[in-house]
Structure formats: C-alpha cells, structure tokens
Amino acid sequence: MKEKVVLAYSGGLDTTTIIPWLKEKFDYEVVCCCIDCGQGNELDGLDERARLSGASKLYIEDVVDDFCDNYIIPCVQANAVYEHKYLLGTSMARPAIAKRLVEIARKEGASAICHGATGKGNDQIRFELSIKALAPDLKVIAPWRMTDIWTIQSREDEIEYCKQHGIDLPFDHSHSYSRDRNLWHISHEGLELEDPSSEPNFEHMLVLCNTPEKAPDEGEYVTMTFEKGIPTSVNGEKMKVSDIIRKLNELGGKHGIGIVDIVENRVVGMKSRGIYETPGGTILMEAHQQLEELVLDRATMETKKDMGNKMAQIVYEGKWFTPLREAVQAFVESTQQYVTGEVKFKLYKGNITKAGTTSPYSLYSESLASFTTGDLYDHHDASGFITLFGLPLTVRAMRMAEAKKNQNQS
C-alpha cells in the first residue's frame, strides 16, 4: 500500500497543483482535508475539484464552533491584539486547522501532512509548530520551501503543470489580492499594498465592509450581554458565539467598522503590509473591553494588559499548543468571573460609541465618583496619601539639592 499524506486543501490553485505534484514526486496517496472555519462559499465544488486533481478522498471538516469557542473567545477575553491593530484572525485559525489535520492523519494512518504556506510567511510556522506539539512523529511537507523539486514560480506555471497532468480546471491567469477568510475576518495582501506609500483600492478590495463613506447616514444602536466574559446575546436575542459573530459581522460591515491597514512585523523577520476586515470581531472586542472597564480593579487591569500583549505574541508566533499559552489563558479566565453585564453602543461610519454599560458586579460608585464623594471618602485623607505616595520624589529632590550644594561649596 502507498503511504498517505494529508493535504491541507483550500481548493485554490496552489493546493490543487500540489495534489499531482505529491503523487509524482513522492508516490503518495493524497487525502485532502478542507477545514471549514467559516470561509462561506469558498467551499463550493471542492469535492469534484479534489477528485479531478487526483485526490483519493476529501474531508470537509466544520470546526466553526470549535474555532469560536476555544480559540476566538480566549483571545477576546485576553484582549489579544498584535501590534495594537491586528485581531489575529489568521493566527487563531491555524492551530484549530492543524489540530484537525492531525486527527484526520491519525484516522487515515497517514505518515505526513502537507501545507501550501510559503517560505516567507507566518503560516508555515503556525502549522508546523502545532503539528510538532501534537504529532511529532508525522513528517511535514512544505512544497514552496522545497525549491530543488518544486520548480513552479507563478500562477501561469501552476496552470500549465495542472494541464500537463490532465487537470483542466477554471483557473485564470489574473493576479488578485492574496486573501485569507474565516468567520472572524478576511485579510488582503499583494498588488498596491506591497507599496506602503500607495493608498488602498478599497473599491476593488473590500468583501465584508462598506467604507465609512458609504456607510448609512443614520447610526444604529446595538445591545450585547456577557456572562463571565462570553457574549450571550445581541439586541435581546440569545445566540451561540458563532451566530453572534455572524450577526456582528453583518452590523459592522454595514457601518464600515473594523477596516485596518497595518505594516506588521512577521515572525520570519520582514515587514509586510495587509488590510484586515474584522467588523464583528472589532465590535466584540470593544464591547468586552467596555464591560471590563466597569468590573475589573486597577491592578488587575494593568497586569491583564501585559498578559493580553503576551497572548497576542504567543498566538501570532504559532505557539498555541504550549504551556505558556495555557498559563496565560488560565490567568485571563480567572479575571473573567465577574465580567457579566450589558453593553450598549452606537455604530456610525466606522465608529463605535458608548451608549451605556451595566453590570451587577460594577465597581463604579456614583457617590464616590461625584464631587460630593459620600461617607467613604474624606478629602483630608488625600493629603497624607499624596505625602507618602510622593515620598520617593521628595527624598530624591532633597538629596539632589544637597549634592548640588556640596558640589558648589567644593
């Protein structure tokens, strides 16, 4: 029997070309596996395409709820944002995909997993670190790094290679943006974005969002509820997390929310520019933060900010299946015990404006915050507090003055 390889299959030109290449170069039986993280109609017609390309089998695995509940929500709770802007849409999905690829490889008795990520990007790291952590015995095949036997250099080369192997599918030669889509976001790279001095061509690019200029002239109020840091409803309708994200995508896209243009630092050392559309994710992250402002104490918020940055770095670098991620997530989850309440906001032309937040665990005291302050706060207490809080500054100023006096006398 031939050895089996499980191919992470998207149905695009790259991974379709890899099917006959794996058979020709390694004599593998190719089992394709498309992991559905919410790509939508990109999954249409994949079964026929995979079989026509020489695959023995195609799995289409729906992991949308797993992706939302076990990858997205921990990052939302942590407020994990990479380099202040990127909400980790691709980064969070890769370990979820890799985990299912390993499960299929075990089920099929495969000896290898193949992915179509390039040798210049982050995804190769995310896929392969996850596979190493979950199944270190499996071989990993990355054609785009195997330049001695992978001689294909362009879309035209790929189309020609497919035709030579009897695969005549409706791929064209046109070059468009390089995109990655799932339920959380869609990313765009390439074309004019490769020049940081160029303005993005949003008219041809955007998929999920209106531009703010084309958003409605009337704002829209939205109410969300959370229980222990997990969203539970939108506008009074209780829904599971995946449906909440779908609803927020619809609302956010309509109002031009969540369009980010960033030059980011890839793990491999280079800078790259991308446009991310994350309409629902941007709303969800903002609503969660608004509730945390009301519930978390100052010291916890300060530490949680550091842990959020650490979580973002861990996820971006593909280190999901590590003790460090588990430890950071455990800290974050401990902070979410009282992140319960209702958040109301208005969406308007790319903006999310607060319209009221309530929680049974709110630490906000109107009597303390008002000018009258109430019985718990005596203005006179502030004098002693400032004296002690500023004592290091006072001592330093005195010592510096004394040193300067001695220096002048000498």
Catalytic residue among 10, 123, 180, 187: 123
| Closest-CA residue to 180 (of 128, 125, 121) | 121
Q: CA-based angle 290:246:281, to the nearest 5?
A: 35
123 is catalytic: yes
Contact assessment for residue 344 and residue 355, using Cβ atoms and an 8 Å cutoff: yes
| Closest-CA residue to 277 (of 12, 35, 69, 87) | 87
The conformation of residue 213, written as its DSSP 8-state character, comes to G
148 is catalytic: no
Contact assessment for residue 114 and residue 143, using Cβ atoms and an 8 Å cutoff: yes
| AA identity, residue 272 | S
| Closest-CA residue to 357 (of 346, 344, 369) | 344
Between CA 170 and CA 175 the distance in angstroms is 14
14 is catalytic: yes
The conformation of residue 197, written as its DSSP 8-state character, comes to T
178 is catalytic: yes
Residues with Cβ within 8 Å of 171's Cβ and at least 6 positions away in sequence, in order, are 13, 16, 155, 158, 159, 162
The conformation of residue 82, written as its DSSP 8-state character, comes to B
Between CA 96 and CA 76 the distance in angstroms is 16
| Closest-CA residue to 291 (of 79, 80, 82) | 79
Between CA 257 and CA 239 the distance in angstroms is 21
Catalytic residue among 10, 49, 53, 94: 94
Catalytic residue among 10, 14, 126, 359: 14
* C-alpha dist (Å) from residue 55 to 37, 172, 173, 307, 356: 22, 22, 24, 44, 54
| AA identity, residue 169 | L
Catalytic residue among 178, 233, 272, 362: 178
- Please list the alpha-helical segments (H only) found in 296-376: 298-316, 323-335, 366-369
Assigned token pair, 381 = 């207490």
- Please list the alpha-helical segments (H only) found in 117-154: 123-134
Backbone angles phi, psi at 221, to 5 degrees: -85, 140
Active site residues: 14, 94, 123, 178
